[in-house]
Structure 1
Amino acid sequence: MTAIPNLEARPGLVQAPKNVVVSLRDVWKSFREVEVLKGINLDVWHGDVVCIIGPSGSGKSTLIRCINGLTPVNRGSVKVKGIEVNDPALDKRELRRHVGMVFQQYNLFPHKTVLENVMMAPVHVLKEDRAEVEERARALIRKVRLEGKERSYPGELSGGQQQRVAIARSLAMRPDVMLFDEVTAALDPETVKEVLLTIRALAEDGMTCVLVTHEMGFAREIGSHVYFTDKGVIVEHGPAKTFFSEATHPRAREFLSQVL
């Protein structure tokens, strides 16, 4: 268990090994005069399921948005598969090949069917063959347990079903890592479970995942590593199997005592 703020104790701090998919080094981010991230160091290995937890306003969502380039950093390095995300010359389409992201809001196209939503990016962004993409899209729709909903529109689906379509849509780009930003926060309790089951299946298939989540039981169950953030720093981190019972930093222990 590590309880030193901002110090990444897992192997690869100085030189990330080849199987690291995501690497953050001394990442700082401010919005005007408010410092949201303060020297973040973090590695995500191939096959990891990394869970980022912490109180509201601790920088969790900003951190995950920095990984896929939605939020540029002020200082430091963010790399995905060796690609520097904040390189001004970065081809964002190339980055999207490696990083899939699912948001709290589903962001589906309401005038497109489920199948069309899943197919759009590979066809229109990657210019892939439509027939090949459709075959893959149908397989992904089955994977997220929505077979039979291919011709449905988002407005005809429950919130949990829409979120699973959003997951299938991201998977259609065949990313190396999937990012999930509080994907169950807007769902009612009955539909949370179906989304978590989908994410669990992805993790069991070996998909590298980074989750910002408030579902502590889920994080403990499927996570390989947990990071606790507070006021823009990583206060403590450790293996999910032991983190929730062996956290040593007072702030982490206080937070866990309130949410467990």
Structure 2
Amino acid sequence: MKSPFIELKDVRKSFGNTAVLNGVDLTVARSEVACIIGPSGSGKSTVLRCINALTRIDGGSVRVGDTRVDDPRLDAQALHRRVGIVFQGYNLFPHCTVLQNVMMAPIQVLRRPRDEVEVQARALLAKVHLAGKEHAYPGELSGGQQQRVAIARSLCMQPEVMLFDEVTAALDPETVKEVLGVIQEIAAEGMTCLLVTHEMRFAREAADYLYFMDHGKVVEHGIAGQVFDAPADARTRAFLEKVL
């Protein structure tokens, strides 16, 4: 077994009187691709937000590399440089060009030289198959193109981990394939990736490891192909029968 780079132990989180995470254990090794699947409302997206300290946990522990995310003295900005996250909503600045959107954070947050960042940003836009769109505005792009800009923007911060939260949920089938293809390319280059997704075919093909969540708990986990082909838990079987 590889040593975990991301590690959650007995993570609990409630919003008011509603328990959203009920003791989640989860690990992702460096350069591994893991997917979290499960019904809506099972706590999947909250797991990602806890890893990136966008949501603070009530109990348990979260670690990314040598950083204790649950430490009250956490330097959140330093964590966000290590852990990129892409959401279903693109959150691009509409008044900025594609290139400006990608370059903004490395220049303003990391204080990197503009010329250096521009070279990297252009290379990343080529990587996500958007060469030639540098001077377009978000409103001129399709949803799939905007999502790929959001991925390039996150990669321009040079993270060690990429989290993807239902990034294809609002896209049509053709653009879903475009975005998932880019994620597969990023993963193939060795990026540690954790995805919440409803795209079962992608999860089967791209994930090294699979977690199935229900009612705030990890019900089943294992090598992706094994979970899909022979789920051990009745809840996992019932879910997969509905979605496959």
TM-score by length of 2: 0.98
Instruction: Report the residue type matching 2:84 in the other structure.
Output: G
Aligned match for 2:133, one of 149, 159, 165? 149
Instruction: Report the residue type matching 1:144 in the other structure.
Output: V
Q: Does the alignment pair 1:133 with 2:103? A: no
Give the 3-state SS of the residue equivalent to 1:110 in structure 2: coil
Aligned match for 1:38, one of 22, 30, 39? 22
Q: CA deviation at 1:86?
A: 2.2
Instruction: Report the residue type matching 1:237 in the other structure.
Output: H
Q: CA deviation at 1:201?
A: 0.5
In structure 2, how many angstroms separate the alpha carbons of the residues matched to 1:181 and 1:203? 15
Q: Does the alignment pair 1:61 with 2:58? A: no
In structure 2, how many angstroms separate the alpha carbons of the residues matched to 1:149 and 1:72? 37
Q: CA deviation at 1:88?
A: 2.1
Within a 5 Å distance, the mapping from 1:153-232 to structure 2 comes to 153-232=137-216
Gaps of 5+ in 2: none
Q: Which residue is equivalent to 1:247?
A: 231
In structure 1, how many angstroms separate the alpha carbons of the residues matched to 2:22 and 2:34? 19
In structure 1, how many angstroms separate the alpha carbons of the residues matched to 2:174 and 2:68? 40
Alpha-carbon displacement from aligned partner over 1:158-199 (angstroms, at most 9, x marks no partner): 000000000000000111110000000011112111001100
Instruction: Report the residue type matching 2:102 in the other structure.
Output: V
Alpha-carbon displacement from aligned partner over 1:68-101 (angstroms, at most 9, x marks no partner): 0111100111111121112222112210121000
- How large is the RMSD of aligned CA atoms in angstroms? 1.0
In structure 2, how many angstroms separate the alpha carbons of the residues matched to 1:150 and 1:21? 34
Q: CA deviation at 1:102?
A: 0.3
Give the 3-state SS of the residue equivalent to 1:178 in structure 2: strand
8 Å CA contact 1:28–1:74 kept in 2: the answer is yes
Gaps of 5+ in 1: 1-10
Alpha-carbon displacement from aligned partner over 1:202-237 (angstroms, at most 9, x marks no partner): 111111100000000000000000000000000001
In structure 2, how many angstroms separate the alpha carbons of the residues matched to 1:64 and 1:241? 23
8 Å CA contact 1:81–1:98 kept in 2: the answer is no
In structure 2, how many angstroms separate the alpha carbons of the residues matched to 1:168 and 1:92? 21
Instruction: Report the residue type matching 1:134 in the other structure.
Output: E
Q: Which residue is equivalent to 1:3?
A: none
8 Å CA contact 1:115–1:150 kept in 2: the answer is yes
Q: Does the alignment pair 1:47 with 2:47? A: no
In structure 2, how many angstroms separate the alpha carbons of the residues matched to 1:244 and 1:53? 11
Q: How many residues align?
A: 244
Q: Which residue is equivalent to 1:83?
A: 67
Q: Does the alignment pair 1:28 with 2:15? A: no
TM-score by length of 1: 0.92
8 Å CA contact 1:99–1:177 kept in 2: the answer is yes
